[in-house]
Structure 1
Amino acid sequence: MLLPFSVSHERPKKMKYSYLSKTIFPFLLFSFAVLSAQKIIIINNAGESINVKSGKKEITINGNDKKEFSETKRISISGSKDLNRFINIFLEPSDQLVIAVQKNTTIHYSGDQASLHQYINEQLNIDTFGSINLYENAGNNKKAGELKNISELLLVNIMKKANLRNILITQNDKDSTKRLKNHIKYSWLNTLFPSIGRADMDFRKEVINYYFKKYIEPDIEKYSCGNSLQYNVLEILAKNKDILQAKLPVYPIVEHTDADNINQYLPQNCQKQYFRNKYNYLEHINGHSKAYYKKVLKEKFNDE
């Protein structure tokens, strides 16, 4: 007579544990996600209001105030005439970074990977553009070996400052590391390639193929223009396709222009960057045809 009675008590226990697992475990997972979420805090110490944009989200931060962003790869900060900055973000999902805008429009970083972001956003362009004269001299003197040595020594120094062992993406790289490597590599190539544009054709042929084979070819099948850096490099390759010892992929033209002979070698988001560059320039000079490029960006590329 005891057996049925004892069995009848097992079912409520199982139901109790099942209920707990359905309520407590999701709560713990949610709590962990909240505690470990990526966070970027913008502090406005500039003494005036600033505008901060991340993707399609744009907000105003008053003086001595702060706002929080999450899961973003790039932030633009604008305010006075001297303040118009783009901040590239390379954080892991659980990292937190504080970006403080000071009165003299300088930017101070603290938190996770602060020194990396300080270097990438405040010093990298100075390092890369600072070598252009050396590149041009090597090109004018047709010294390909000298150009390779100068440029690759600079790249090694940049990698050390960014705490990278190599610049080529591997399968084990985290997403933030992949983006960091690409940003550095194409920032470097973006100053290197234009500086040899007027060099002797034989010289250009040697060096363009050298850098393409070593640094760009692994990317070419899945090439993407996240910003103007990758676009500028691919555009130069397309313009020099006759001396390139490789075939560039050909893509459908999204919107026909007089640049189709170049744009056919650009994937869709690189063609978008072509129109974005045109629009930004015409917007800056208030050109009469800027409305056309804005319309194409909106209708063909879904870019507001």
Structure 2
Amino acid sequence: MKNVFQTIALGFVALLLFVPAANAEYPERPVTLVVGFGVGGSADRMTRSTSSFLSDKLDQAVKVVNKKGAGTMLGANYVLRQKDDGYTVFASTFAPYMSNSIIHGGAKYKIEDFAFINAQWFDFDLIATNKDKPYSSLAELLTEIKNNPGKISASVVQGSAGHLMVKLLLKNNNIPAESLNLVTYNSGGKARSAVAGGQVDFIAISAEGCESIREFLKPLAVVLDEPSDNWDAPVVNEALKPLGTTVPVLPGSIRGYAVKAEVKEKYPERFAKLTAAFKEVVDDPDVKKFLKGNQIGSDWTGPEKTQELMRQNFEAFSKYKDLMVQ
């Protein structure tokens, strides 16, 4: 009988110890932000610049780790292998890299395997030539590619929206893909250096990153529906009017944060707290000023709209997937 009472007593003590732990207020330990790229890139700068503010809102330490490789696939798979407890957040340039990793990279995950918290930083694409090149318009440049195959070269980031845009410009203007010498890079810095140094004639790439090489560029078009305040160039379909053609206006880069879908399903209150913390960060006027001063976006898009934007991005890249393997 004594042993029975001892067992009951030990069980009761264990229960008392367990209940506070189970009900402990989230987060009770550091949250990790996993960046799908190396140190110093746009997604990494966004994450590190935001992390200290997020730490203040969560009243908990926030760590940043980098898991680069395979077009963000290594980072995505790392996040998906972690526990479904809300302590691991994926920070990345989701569009177009997540879509491309699924369509072309053989990724086993789906867009729906992630619950997106927020798309914080959007960037449209810029089509520009080196300033010393003779082309004054996009129509003139495309005509030259068509009439003089092999003469013109371009740089793009492999698998990016700019890469797909160049393919669409060729296709919709009946220009064989082999008429353009298209050089693909794995980093935006190298692609931009190629056009700034005159090794290639033009580039199609995220506009914001081109601020550092603006003096070397002649902008020909922005991939937007409305003109840009920062670049003196027509929107892409206005620039194509002399040729009588159009292209779909693809979203450029979408950078933000997500967790495993299971986190939102199993711990909706934790997902809600994370979401509220991220919103408080980007809504804070002082944070906005700081991020703007460092040329980092601070938009609040929210979970539902971000999830829909990623679905639309995946559908667009799926529709034109054959162009990216030509």
What's the TM-score once normalised by structure 1's chain length? 0.26
Higher strand share: 2
Q: Which one has the largest radius of gyration?
A: 1
